[in-house]
Amino acid sequence: MYAVIKTGGKQYRVAADDKLQIEKLPGEAGDIVEFTDVLMVASDGSVDVGAPFVAGATVAAEIIGQVRGPKIIIFKKHRRKHFRRKNGHRQDLTSVRITEILTGGAKPAKKAAAKPAKAEKTTETAPAETAPAATSASKTKAPAKPARAKVDKEAKAEKAKAAKKSKE
């Protein structure tokens, strides 16, 4: 059984237990998301095509996490005009796992196991918050680097004197 859903301005062909990255959706890891914009459902050789959506069909998915896409470099140039612009972009995405495809107005099953996972994550982050505070206090400033400009000027002056002597 598979379905074609529409989200974030794009269409995806999904089946149960598929993992995909879609445009960012609000929610945290473990939350259940319902996609009601189902364009087509195929099961057991029968295909239901909506006009524009299939009535009573929903696709349930569990949010795995919020991620960012690859960095895209935008480079604009006008030749012979001294015009160059470089810009980067990373798209915010939501990684989801399709749990079930429902037809006939059925509601998705809520997962109770997803909520305790959040409690474990919050206990793990509490010790991590205290650790950076202790390390930041122990950091000392690095000694300043010597002024390099003076050294370069002195070296150039010596080279110029040596060049004058060699010419004479």
What confidence tens digit (pLDDT) does each residue in 126-154 have?
Answer: 555 555 555 555 566 766 666 666 667 78
Of the listed ranges 2-11, 17-26, 159-168, the least confidently predicted one is 159-168
Given CA atoms 33, 34, 37, 42 in this order, what sign does their dihedral have? positive
Residue 90 has pLDDT above 90, yes or no: yes
| Cα gap 91→161, rounded to integer Å | 59
Closest C-alpha to 60, from 24, 101, 25: 101
- Whole-number pLDDT of residue 151: 67
Residue 45 has pLDDT above 60, yes or no: yes
Structure letter (DSSP) for residue 109: P
Question: Are 60 and 97 contacting, i.e. CB atoms less than 8 angstroms apart?
Answer: no
Closest C-alpha to 5, from 32, 27, 46, 33: 33
| Averaged pLDDT for residues 9-32 | 95
